[in-house]
Amino acid sequence: MHGALNHGLTPVQGGAALRLLLDYLVPGSTQALEGTPAQWAGQSLDLNFLCEGQQVLHTRGWVQPQGDGWLLQLIDISDLQHSRQQARLRGQYNQLLSSIGQQLRQCASARLPAVMLETLQQVAGYWRVPSVALALRADIPLGWRLHSAYHAFDTPQLWKPGQTLGAALDGLNPCAPIHVSPDSVSADNRWLTSLFGHADGVLVPFRDLHGASAWLLLGFYAVSPGESVTSDSEWLHLCATIAGPLQDRLREQHYEQQRERMEALQGLLGTGWWEWLQPSRQMQLAPQLSASLLPALESVSLSREAWLALFHPADRDEISSGFTALLEQGTPLLLCARVYQPQRTEPAQWYRIQGQVLGKGAERRIVGFMLDVSDIKNQQLQAAAAQARLANVIASSPAVIYVQRYVEGALVPEFFSDSLQPLLGLRLEDCAGSALIERIHPDDREHYLERTRQLLREGSARGRYRVRDQRGDYHWLLDEAKLLRDDLGLPVEAVGLWLDVTEATEVAERVRHSEERYRILVEDSPAMICRYLPDLTLTFGNRPLANYLECAPEQLPGINLTSWLSPQQHEAFLQRLASLSPELPVSTAEISLQLPGREHAWWVWSDRGVFDAQGQLLEVQAVARDNTEVRRSQQQLTHGAKMATLGEMATGLAHEINQPLNVMRMAIVNVLKRLSNGDVNIDYLQEKLTRIDAQIQRAARIVDHMRVFGRRSEIEQQLFNPAQSLEGTLALMGEGLRGKGVEIRSEGLNCSVHVRGHTDQLEQVLINLLVNARDALLSKCETDRGFKPWIALSSERAGNCVRLWVQDNGGGIDPRLLERIFEPFFTTKPVGVGTGLGLSVSYGIIDNMGGRLSVSNTEHGARFCVELPVVDEG
């Protein structure tokens, strides 16, 4: 072994004095030495020797015979080997970079964050860096932000994506990688070591047109510049390979989003840009604009004439001259124009067209935009039309709209609608300054001033006052005003409306006067006047009514009439109300009232119902007259007549009572006679006493009945069977008449119906009729000796009525007197005998019972008929 080698090489196996070549070789590079040297001759041998310090010596050589041995000649090829290694690494490195660049450029946008993370992972794996992150310049907030970060699984999380780093990175030199080490901390970059977690690290910049735009952060990574297998320029290249495409992609995304937003915005607004291309003299339109203006047009650029033709002929001149001014003088273009749509019936489509010159000289461009303002424009037109219509309506109506400006606490007329002239014959000047207040009626001025004060105080006011017109006539004006305030709440102006209500006010005034007259009429009327609801609650009563009831008129409303009526009266009252109808709204009746602490009152009561459109009774207006006095005298009359009848009956009654007395006397005489003879038999005595008892009962009945008959009648009518009255009459009169030789014929008297009234009064009527018949018969008897007088009583049911007949054979009534016999005080009897009241009172009684008393002559004599309505008992 050549001397130099002898020292440099170390044998693999130690111990033996004589060493084999193989002992020096790195295990694994011995294949070339299999066999004998003769077999290797002519071949090139690559042998790796182990040197001191575990270094490997790469050699290449050959054997050649020398003497009896072989000379192995080797050349050191370590350099060659090293550069080959380097080339291989570079190849891998380039491949890595190109795959990274390719992935970042080609991946889908949505995958970009994931691809970035993979990229950082690849970097971490390739260079054995525990933490890798990429920081990009952020727009908001200004400074830097980590786009993505990767950590080997057992490494502390130094960074996280989205983390902001502030603006400190701006202070670093972006020309070369920066090595961060906790050992060499300067005050300036203490933040840097804390960013790297107080461990070693490297910061690799990326620069573009605008300076540093990205930093690649390698954490927990210590390489001294000399030892690094990766040169600074390679680091820069790596960072550029990652950050360059990433930023392109991000910018591209950003522009894409912006473009989409712009397009959406333009679509929503119905707007779009246009540009006049000077060299080609063509107008270019934004795609959505041309789509909406020219659905059929394929190209988006058109000539100036074609562009003008898009608009309504009426607007073309204006557009054309504005456009020329823009082209030639650079005057900005701004106008509104309609799109030409000859077939269209809907409201016109309006565009606002704006244009301006950008840049100068060769870069001069003419651009602008068109904005769809149809909504606003059409609204404007509609509003203008509505305003015109309103102005027209106001001008031809009896209303004036006015504005009064607020000036230092006063309201000064500033505007009147055109209707002021036709209404009052005035113009604004006629109402300026203090002229308006002078035109207001002197009596209403205070009212007007108060209206102004209220308007300023409360923000609105309403009033009615008179204003003098041009001719000097006053108009009643209804004034409605509102105060408008500015943002600070200070009054600006009052807007109001005058409505001419002269006619209505005068009518109302007349109505008020006439109401007043009627009110006085009602109040001062001697009749009692009231209004009440269908449930009989009083809503109004005049003074006479209140006086009668001994209270004030104000106390009347709320009182219910029911409290003054007996149940029968109440029922009859309601029945009467129910019979009212819109066709027959009036009814009159005599009602009896039970006023507390007073005797019965009789009122003649007239009702008039007030109905609504559906025929429903709303209220009743009633007029009442006190009839109590009349009633009372009537009653007295009836009673007087009754007493007279009783007087007349006295003879008959005497006879009537005399009869049983005679019978009793005879019986007693007979009994006494027998007693004196001692011939008294108990049976005989019993028979006589029974007869006496019967006669006593008969007399008692007559007396009883007379007592009942002589009483005053009840106030309320009762239901009774008229047969009762017939029986009572016969009980009183029968015997007396028979005693005078008058035959009583009574038949069919057992009718079982009910009538309403008083039994005693009907009885009185029947007695009157019997007495009159008796008188007629007796006077006939005086002249005609053989005359056989009779009185016939009968009854019959006829429909809803019952008829009682009293007939005699006394010759009847002189037909000339027939009409007069019911008159009061009419009599044909001698003075002191007849009163002439019997028939007239009877007539009144039957009338009161709702019936009728009538008379006719038969061949024998007079025939009286009492007809009474039958009351259904159901």
Where on the chain is the footprint of ligand ADP (CB under 6 A)?
A: 768, 772-773, 776, 808, 810, 812-813, 821, 826-829, 834-836, 838-840, 861-862
CB of 711 to ligand ADP, least distance (A): 22
CB of 769 to ligand ADP, least distance (A): 7
Q: Which is nearer to ligand ADP, 538 or 862 (CB)?
A: 862
Q: Which is nearer to ligand ADP, 587 or 828 (CB)?
A: 828
Note the helical H segments in 205-312: 232-269, 287-293, 304-309
Q: Which is nearer to ligand ADP, 419 or 768 (CB)?
A: 768
Q: Are 854 and 769 in contact (CB under 8 A)?
A: no
CB of 855 to ligand ADP, least distance (A): 8
Give the chain's largest Cα–Cα span.
228
CB of 789 to ligand ADP, least distance (A): 11
CA atoms of 703 and 682, how far apart (whole Å) = 31
Tokens standing for residue 768: 């009157």
User: Helix 628-677 vs helix 838-848: angle between axes, to the nearest 10 degrees?
Assistant: 110
Q: Which is nearer to ligand ADP, 608 or 852 (CB)?
A: 852
CB of 531 to ligand ADP, least distance (A): 44
Give the H or E element holding residue 783. helix 759-783
CB of 830 to ligand ADP, least distance (A): 9
Angle formed at CA 143 by CA 140 and CA 144, multiple of 5 degrees = 100
Q: Which is nearer to ligand ADP, 417 or 835 (CB)?
A: 835
CB of 862 to ligand ADP, least distance (A): 4
Q: Which is nearer to ligand ADP, 729 or 772 (CB)?
A: 772
CA atoms of 412 and 409, how far apart (whole Å) = 10
SS3 state of residue 472: coil
Q: Which is nearer to ligand ADP, 252 or 823 (CB)?
A: 823
Q: How far is CA 152 from CA 123, 129, 149, 229, in A?
A: 11, 8, 10, 21
**For 176, which DSSP code?**
S
CB of 829 to ligand ADP, least distance (A): 4
Q: Which is nearer to ligand ADP, 611 or 826 (CB)?
A: 826
Q: How far is C-alpha 281 from the geometric centre of its chain's CA atoms? A: 63
CB of 680 to ligand ADP, least distance (A): 51
Residue 198 Ramachandran class (φ > 0 left, ψ -120 to 50 alpha, else beta): left
CB of 639 to ligand ADP, least distance (A): 16
Name every residue whose Cβ is closer than 8 Å to that of residue 747 and which is 6 or more positions away in sequence: 792, 793, 794
Strand partners, 60: 46, 75
User: Position 859: which residue type?
Assistant: E
Q: Which is nearer to ligand ADP, 59 or 768 (CB)?
A: 768
CB of 774 to ligand ADP, least distance (A): 9
CB of 854 to ligand ADP, least distance (A): 13
Q: Which is nearer to ligand ADP, 640 or 836 (CB)?
A: 836
Looking only at the bridges linking them, the beta strands covering 365-372 and 350-358 are: antiparallel
Q: Which is nearer to ligand ADP, 496 or 812 (CB)?
A: 812
CB of 840 to ligand ADP, least distance (A): 6
- Dihedral pair phi/psi, residue 208, rounded to 5°: -130, -160
Q: Which is nearer to ligand ADP, 275 or 763 (CB)?
A: 763
Find where tokens 């009980």 sit: 731
Long-range pairs, 497-501, Cβ under 8 A, ≥24: 497/399, 497/400, 497/401, 497/402, 498/399, 498/400, 498/401, 498/402, 498/423, 498/467, 499/398, 499/399, 500/398, 500/399, 500/423, 500/475, 500/476, 501/464, 501/476, 501/477
Q: Which is nearer to ligand ADP, 645 or 659 (CB)?
A: 645
Find where tokens 């991000």 sit: 250
Q: Are 133 and 123 in contact (CB under 8 A)?
A: no
